């Protein structure tokens, strides 16, 4: 498996207010986690908020799930790379040409190339949900097909449920990143996730990085909770 340096935990900053997000960040440390910024926080905080986190030493996963025509996505990825982010993503449903254009754009950027991964099937979606939007087969079937497409496009990995990690690890080999939300420590609320595992189970199944939000951000002591989870993965 590809060597993972540093923490395997990516803390999801699922806040509407950049000030509240920064308050949480100040309780953590770059040595113990990476950070994920999604659509709402990026829309409110903007590029400067991302630059500030990078300047504090954090690896930032910019989770904007680009999905558009190939040229538009390529230019968006170039813009994200200029912020100094560590990782970004696109939707695999955008197709191989779109993903190839995005990766090629990142190869041409100056500085360290961000890792580019693709979203397969959102972990909030059940098999019934997929049928309602016209996708045949189970969530697992669709994840497998889209992961293969992302690998053919030379992406670095995919976002997937930890329950698909073992299947994808066998399918894609050891050098393909599997970034998994839908991870909950024992006793934590399921919230809006349907296909979940504990952190220890997810890593054992082949996950490379674990995206975790509320179990850490809503803890009474976020740093202590983060330390506890990191310790469980050693």
> Residues with catalytic annotation?
65
Angle between helices 139-152 and 96-107 in degrees, nearest 10: 40
Integer Cα distance of 211 and 169 in angstroms: 18
Question: Token pair of 43, please?
Answer: 């829309």
CA distances from 32 to 97, 111, 134, 174, 200 (A): 36, 24, 41, 24, 16
Burial code (b: 16+ CB inside 10 Å, e: under 16) for 165-197 equals bebbbeebeeebbbbbbbbbbeebeeeebbbbb
Query: How many Cα atoms within 13 Å fall on the side-chain side of residue 115?
Result: 20
Residues 6+ apart with CB under 8 A from 67: 73, 90, 91, 93, 94, 98
Integer Cα distance of 194 and 169 in angstroms: 21
Phi-psi region of 108 (alpha: psi -120 to 50; beta: other; left: phi over 0): alpha
CA distances from 22 to 114, 155, 174, 194 (A): 23, 31, 35, 29
């Amino acid at each position: 498996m590809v060597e993972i340096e540093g923490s395997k935990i990516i803390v999801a900053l699922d806040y509407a207010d950049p000030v509240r997000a920064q308050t949480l960040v100040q309780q953590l440390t770059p040595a113990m986690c990476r950070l994920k910024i999604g659509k709402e926080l990026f829309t409110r905080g903007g590029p400067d908020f991302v630059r500030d986190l990078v300047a504090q030493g954090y690896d930032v996963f910019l989770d904007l799930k680009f999905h558009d025509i190939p040229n538009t996505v390529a230019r968006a990825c170039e813009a994200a790379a200029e912020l100094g982010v560590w990782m970004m993503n696109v939707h695999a449903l955008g197709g191989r040409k779109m993903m190839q254009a995005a990766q090629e754009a990142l190869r041409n950027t100056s500085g360290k190339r961000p890792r580019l991964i693709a979203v397969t099937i959102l972990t909030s979606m059940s098999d019934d949900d997929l049928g309602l939007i016209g996708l045949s087969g189970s969530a697992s079937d669709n994840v497998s097909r889209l992961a293969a497409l992302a690998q053919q496009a030379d992406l670095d990995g995919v976002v997937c449920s930890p329950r698909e990690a073992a299947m994808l690890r066998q399918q894609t080999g050891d050098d393909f990143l599997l970034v998994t939300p839908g991870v909950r420590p024992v006793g934590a609320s399921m919230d809006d996730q349907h296909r979940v595992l504990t952190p220890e189970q997810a890593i054992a199944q082949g996950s490379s990085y674990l995206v975790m939000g509320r179990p850490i951000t809503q803890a009474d002591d976020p740093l202590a909770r983060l330390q506890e989870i990191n310790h469980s993965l050693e």
